[in-house]
Amino acid sequence: MPSLFDKLWSSHEIAATPGGTSLIAIDRVFLHERTGAAALNSLAAAGRSVRHPARAFVAMDHIVDTRPGRTDATLMPGGQAFITETRAAARANGLTLFDVGDPDQGIMHVVSPELGIVLPGLTLVAPDSHTCTQGAVGALAWGIGSTEAEHALATGTLRARKPPSMRVRFEGALAPGVTAKDMALALIAAHGSAGGQGMAIEFAGSAVRALPMEARMTLCNMATEFAAFAAFIAPDETTFGWLKGRRHAPSGALWELALAQWRLLASDADAGFEREILIDAATIGLMVSWGTSPSQSIPITGTVPADADARPLAYMGLERGQRLLGLPIAGAFIGSCTNSRLPDLSRAAAIVRGRRVAPGVRALVVPGSSAVKRAAEAEGLDRVFLEAGFEWRESGCSMCFYAGGESFGAGERVVSSTNRNFESRQGLGTRTHITSPEVVAASALAGHIAAPE
């Protein structure tokens, strides 16, 4: 009867009020330097402390410099204070810190699975909307604000009403070259940016089962662009094999005990959902956004919709009926918590190898973690990108968003493997098209929006 979500929820429900609010146990909390100091300092000012410091982690990812040879200095005006204050607060509270220069530094949603901090059946929260990424391992992970982060740190719990549930099944096989990013954009384009409004979403079906772990993270990552509360995938042999031996994952007899419980983390055959969506995976093409919401995405071979709104059209410098293929670009960005893991970089490198970025295009690769960077360099991927004319950066969120530091220029058209194409997201007036790393790579070489050959 119960769904995976029912199991994740009920196994963490400490108490419930008559009004429908549950007190939910929180197993892991992640913070970052953009809001970490605010939460920890506010907690201290209220005379409170972190209840389980060993279960709380801090990543330096949002505004750290990603240029080679970086220090605490950052191009964001005043940004250094966020880094130094968060560091001081993390140390004062005894939290595990993935600091600038630390071999484990990276984007929290890359680092956490990489180190086995998030595990199947855990609850994990962070003051970051893309926390849903981490549900890919079969955890209940969701984004919160600073005040709720304080609550989770101080009490080891959160107060929440159980959200309604949705199952999205992708059945069948993806066409060659189609990725998890295309699955996510196709779903959001078909059902709207509010399509998953406040729901706990289980991704299922044969096309999801066939995805490697990193691609599952890409799919779950985009659930917040669908207005979901959380997203997750039932853990399976792919999950267990990927997690085994990671630093914070259990080992020995504990691993066996955990595994026995994790195998129960699946929706029962007769589980009920408030809503179900079925998508034929074979119908999904390479997707690119045309507008300023992820829902404004179309197949790369398509044209801007005839009923497109005026505001995004004006912002993006496009007209109804216009083709995306062939639009000249000024920038290409591969990175972010969506698409910056080793397989993402490998697939892009395979397209780039032996070729050159088109003249006039500024192209960057920003690995999702320092570990991803090292692994890529061990395979020579840094050379592939550098020789083609890409910049090869230190890990972090980088130019996924503009915080007043580095950015693309006004009116510049950029293809990006990131998650948001909002107005001025990557720079004041910058025109962002979100898509897969493969399309970013192919477009960087062509100098215009292009599909891989």
Chain positions 139 to 158 lying near other proteins, rule: CB under 8 A, are: 143-148, 150-151, 154-157
The reply on whether position 432 binds other proteins by CB under 8 A is no
Residue 200 CB, nearest distance to other proteins (Å)? 10
How many other CB atoms sit within 10 Å of the CB of residue 254? 10
Whether 22 and 160 have beta carbons less than 8 Å apart is answered as yes
Output 362 or 420, the one with its CB closest to other proteins. 420
The reply on whether position 356 binds other proteins by CB under 8 A is no
Site string for other proteins, 290-329 (x = CB under 8 A): ---x-x---------------x------------------
The owner of tokens 């192209």 is: 363
Whether 325 and 309 have beta carbons less than 8 Å apart is answered as no
Output 134 or 443, the one with its CB closest to other proteins. 134
Considering only 101-109, 176-184, 193-201, 324-332, which stretch makes contact with other proteins by CB under 8 A? 193-201
Output 1 or 54, the one with its CB closest to other proteins. 54
Residue 143's DSSP bridge partners are: 126
Binders of other proteins among residues 252 to 281 (CB under 8 A) are 254-255, 257-258, 261
Binding test (CB under 8 A) with other proteins, winner from 4, 29, 31, 38: 38
Binding test (CB under 8 A) with other proteins, winner from 2, 23, 330, 412: 23
Considering only 192-200, 324-332, 360-368, 439-447, which stretch makes contact with other proteins by CB under 8 A? 192-200
84 closest CA partner among 66, 69, 102, 71:
71
Binders of other proteins among residues 404 to 423 (CB under 8 A) are 404, 420, 422-423
190 closest CA partner among 182, 179, 198:
182
Binding test (CB under 8 A) with other proteins, winner from 37, 136, 213, 324: 37
Whether 337 and 368 have beta carbons less than 8 Å apart is answered as yes
Q: List CB contacts of 383: < 8 A, sequence separation 6 or more.
A: none
Considering only 100-108, 250-258, 353-361, 380-388, which stretch makes contact with other proteins by CB under 8 A? 250-258
Output 85 or 236, the one with its CB closest to other proteins. 85
Residue 19 CB, nearest distance to other proteins (Å)? 3
The owner of tokens 């929260």 is: 125
# of chain residues touching other proteins (CB under 8 A): 80
The CA-atom distances, in angstroms, between 405 and each of 254, 360, 398, 401, 402 are 46, 21, 9, 10, 7
The CA-atom distances, in angstroms, between 401 and each of 34, 68, 99, 251, 419 are 12, 19, 20, 38, 10
The CA-atom distances, in angstroms, between 212 and each of 208, 219, 344 are 9, 11, 11
Q: List CB contacts of 393: < 8 A, sequence separation 6 or more.
A: 66, 67, 68, 335, 364, 365, 366, 367
Considering only 264-272, 334-342, 381-389, 395-403, which stretch makes contact with other proteins by CB under 8 A? 395-403
352 closest CA partner among 445, 274, 424, 427:
445
How far apart (Å, rounded) are the C-alpha atoms in residues 125 and 129? 10
Binding test (CB under 8 A) with other proteins, winner from 17, 71, 283, 301: 17
Residue 398 CB, nearest distance to other proteins (Å)? 13
Output 123 or 218, the one with its CB closest to other proteins. 123
The owner of tokens 């605490």 is: 72
The reply on whether position 162 binds other proteins by CB under 8 A is no
Output 144 or 446, the one with its CB closest to other proteins. 144
Residue 318 CB, nearest distance to other proteins (Å)? 18
How far apart (Å, rounded) are the C-alpha atoms in residues 132 and 206? 21
How far apart (Å, rounded) are the C-alpha atoms in residues 338 and 289? 15
Containing 91, the helix (H) or strand (E) segment is helix 79-92
The reply on whether position 55 binds other proteins by CB under 8 A is yes
- CA angle 179/107/334 to nearest 5° reads 45
Residue 12 CB, nearest distance to other proteins (Å)? 9
Binders of other proteins among residues 215 to 244 (CB under 8 A) are 224-225, 227-229
Site string for other proteins, 82-101 (x = CB under 8 A): x--xx---------------
Output 155 or 238, the one with its CB closest to other proteins. 155
Binding test (CB under 8 A) with other proteins, winner from 73, 175, 190, 194: 194
Output 131 or 218, the one with its CB closest to other proteins. 131
Residue 55 CB, nearest distance to other proteins (Å)? 6
